[in-house]
Structures are given as C-alpha cells and as structure tokens.
Amino acid sequence: MEKSKKLFAEAQEIIPGGVNSPVRAARSVGGEPVFVDHGRGARLFDVDGKSYLDFVSSWGPLICGHAAPWVLHAVEEAAKKGTSFGAPTEAETTLARLIRKHYPAMEMVRLVNSGTEAGMSAIRLARGFTGRDKIVKFQGCYHGHADSLLVSAGSGVATLGIPGCPGIPAALAELTLTVPYNDADALEKTFKKHGDSIAAVIVEPVAGNMGVVPPQPEFLPAIDRLCKEYGALFICDEVITGFRLSLGGASAYYDLKPDLTMLGKIIGGGLPLAAFGGRREVMEKLAPVGGVYQAGTLSGNPLAVAAGIAAVEYLAGSSVYARLRQSSRQWADGLLALAREHGVPACGNRVESMSTLFFTEGPVTDYDSALKSDTAMYGAFWRGMLERGVWLAPSQFEASFVSAGMIPDDIETALDAAAATFKALKK
C-alpha cells in the first residue's frame, strides 16, 4: 500500500478528499483508497503490484470484465478517426436503434454523458411535458446528484450519512416528495394529496443504491397504475439494471412499459455514456423539436458510442446472462452461508448478477430496514477482504456485481477470503 498511500496524500492536497467521487475515499469503512494501475478480466491491479478480484466492476459498467478485447478494439478503431466532433455520427443512430430494439418503450432516445445527466434531463422533460412541478422519489434510491434528486438519496449520501445537502435551495427540494420503497399504499396516499401537481414518479426498479432491494410483486405495477390514473409520467431508472438483469433490463424482466427510461453504465462499455428515452410524444418536447432544452458538447461521443455498441453486441450475442446468474448465486449464497456459519447476523438480497450481504438479520425491504445494518461490521469485513485480495464496494449501501470475466474458481477464491475474514472478525 506504500505507493497508494503516497499518491493518496498527494491527491488530497489538490483534489477535495483526494477523490473525484466521494464513496471512493472509503471513509465509511475506515479505509483508504487503493490507487489503481490497471484491470484485466476479473481482476484489478493496484500501483503496489497487488491484485484483487473485483466485485465493484466500476460500480456496474464492466459487465464484460476489465479491458474486454472487443471493447478495446472498438475504441481503438473509433479513436483513429478522431475523438470528438460535436456533430452527429452514424454510430449514434446505430446505438439508439440497438437500445430501442431491447427497450421498445424507448421509442426515441437521446444520448448523454452520465446517469446524473439522464436523470436531470428526464425530470426536466417530465415537468415540461406535464406542466407540473412536483416529483416523487423513493427513500434510499439514488438517481444521480442533480438538485431535485438528492433528497433522501442512497449511495454516497447514505454512506456518508448526509441528511440534506447544502447548496440545494429548500424551495426546490420541497418539490421532491419521498415515499418508502416498496410501499404502494404510501404512494397512493401521496397521489391522493398531491396528484394534480405530480409530474413524475422516478424509481430504481431494483434498488441498488441502498444495497440491493428487490421490488415486491405489487410495487412496480402500482407505480404504473397510479401514474396513469393521475396523468404523471413513470420514469424507470435503469442506470444499474439496464443490460444487467437481462438484455432488456428490468423492463423486460418485470414487463414494464415506462413513459421514460434512463440507461447508463453498461451502455458505455466503461466509457462515459448514458441515455434517456421514451414515448415519442414526450421525447419530441425536447429541443430542437420542442421547447425543453437539454444539450452537451460531448453527448454521443464517438469513443463512448463505439464502446457501448461493442458491449451491447457482445451481450446480445452470447449466453452471458446464464453464466452471470450462476456466478452471482454462487457468490451471494456462499457469503450468506459463511456469515451464518460464523454466527454473524446477516441477510442477503440478490436479483440476477447484483447482490448485497447486509449485516442485519433483515429482511431488508426498504431504506429503513437497510439502515439497520451494522456498518461498523461491514467496514471490518471490507478491510479484511481487501487485505485478502477481494475488492468490494467501500460502502454497505451499494451492490456487489459479478462480471463475465469471473469463473467459478474466482468465486471460490473470494469465498475462501470471506471465510478467513469472518473467522478473524469473531476473534
């Protein structure tokens, strides 16, 4: 860790907290960031020459594993032609069509650079389309760090225990109504009270930013029904679940037809790319067709688009989802069994290749139950796993992702590390 420590000290002098995104600082788990040299397949290599089995996958995008040759090749070929034009390319239409093929509710698509941009733009569009100001989000869900969406947010906000964010005007935050995840009755009550002024309900179809929390069977259909009844838009945030739960994401998995969908992470193949899209009549409210303004110099960047097409074509042309399901089950079931064997209070949530082991008896069904986790215990577990060569999210309130780069032996190796870590924790 010597070189990492030195680089972290230098970074802190010039970059706030030494990191360009707060959760990377590993403060909540009592650790320090590992500085990365490179990644290959299932492994991350730090600047001190140590390698780690990677269950973070760059927070989701790297479903193909690190430095997948087909993604690298696509990026190299695109780079030879130039790195940015600020003018349209044919590849953008190709990617938009690929997205629509797998997400038919996205009749029209706009490419942006990050999930935050996708969320911010979807909210503005929903407000512009409906002429209403209020939005509903669920406690513990995270949809990027736009002002309207940081209220009661998960991810780093939950990790650092930030109650409200200075810099967000109260008048704006008041327009965001919050409801517990999986609570269809509370959503109905909110609609009864504010129905005429709600522009949209935004949801992670499987929550991934308070740890993984699956939707209960009636929850997503209730959102759809209430949005239709009250004339609000249903925004499905598939930034994590898109191309992860299945080729058609959570929309195909749960048979959803949202008015607007957000995608990110996997559709960029590890480069900065995201998208939002939906019903034609809604999307055509966007400038230059309509008056809702949204723009970006690097939107549809040719390198990111090339990487995205390569990643999506690989996923469409392989049997990767069955393998990912198997690896994820091996990992999540194995971890829970080990925790129980060592007398550690724990419960596990998993949907396809995303999972979380919570350090509480559970069940974890919403943000309040997720917050019952023993985060100090998670921190000790994280540090033990890091020492033994396994890279986990430096926060209890995130998902663990397996990638196509992992083979059953890798999972076994990580589970051996977990067994040793649980044993050490009990001492």
Among residues 156 and 302, whose Cβ is nearest to ligand HOZ? Answer: 156
Among residues 131 and 161, whose Cβ is nearest to ligand HOZ? Answer: 161
Nearest approach in angstroms of CB 347 to ligand HOZ is 21
Nearest approach in angstroms of CB 399 to ligand HOZ is 8
Among residues 366 and 398, whose Cβ is nearest to ligand HOZ? Answer: 398
Amino acid at 402: V
Among residues 146 and 292, whose Cβ is nearest to ligand HOZ? Answer: 146
Beta bridge partners of 111: 275
Considering only residues 4, 8, 18, 23, which one is a binding residue for ligand HOZ as defined by CB under 6 A?
Answer: 23
Q: Does the N-terminal peptide bond of residue 288 adopt cis geometry, omega within 30 degrees of 0?
A: yes
Number of residues that bind ligand HOZ (CB under 6 A): 8
Considering only residues 3, 16, 21, 172, which one is a binding residue for ligand HOZ as defined by CB under 6 A?
Answer: 21
Among residues 24 and 323, whose Cβ is nearest to ligand HOZ? Answer: 24
CA distance 137 to 141: 7
**What are the tokens at 395?**
């926060």
Distance in Å from the first CA to the final CA of the chain = 25
CA distance 239 to 261: 9
Check binding of 117 to ligand HOZ (CB under 6 A).
Answer: no
Which residue is catalytic, options 183, 265, 314, 366?
265
Check binding of 156 to ligand HOZ (CB under 6 A).
Answer: yes
CA distance 88 to 143: 27
CA distance 413 to 387: 13
Does the active-site annotation cover 265? yes
The answer to whether the CB of 299 falls within 8 A of the CB of 112 is yes
Considering only residues 209, 246, 360, 403, which one is a binding residue for ligand HOZ as defined by CB under 6 A?
Answer: 209
- CB atoms under 10 Å from CB of 9, counted, come to 11
Query: What x/- string results for residues 397 through 416 when contact with ligand HOZ is judged by CB under 6 A?
Result: -x------------------
Does the active-site annotation cover 196? no
Nearest approach in angstroms of CB 91 to ligand HOZ is 26
Check binding of 382 to ligand HOZ (CB under 6 A).
Answer: no
Exposure string for 222-256, b = 16+ CB within 10 A, e = fewer: bbbebbeebebbbbbbbbbbbbbbbbbbbbebbeb
Residues forming the active site = 142, 237, 265
Binding residues for ligand HOZ, rule: CB under 6 A, are: 21, 23, 59, 142, 155-156, 209, 398
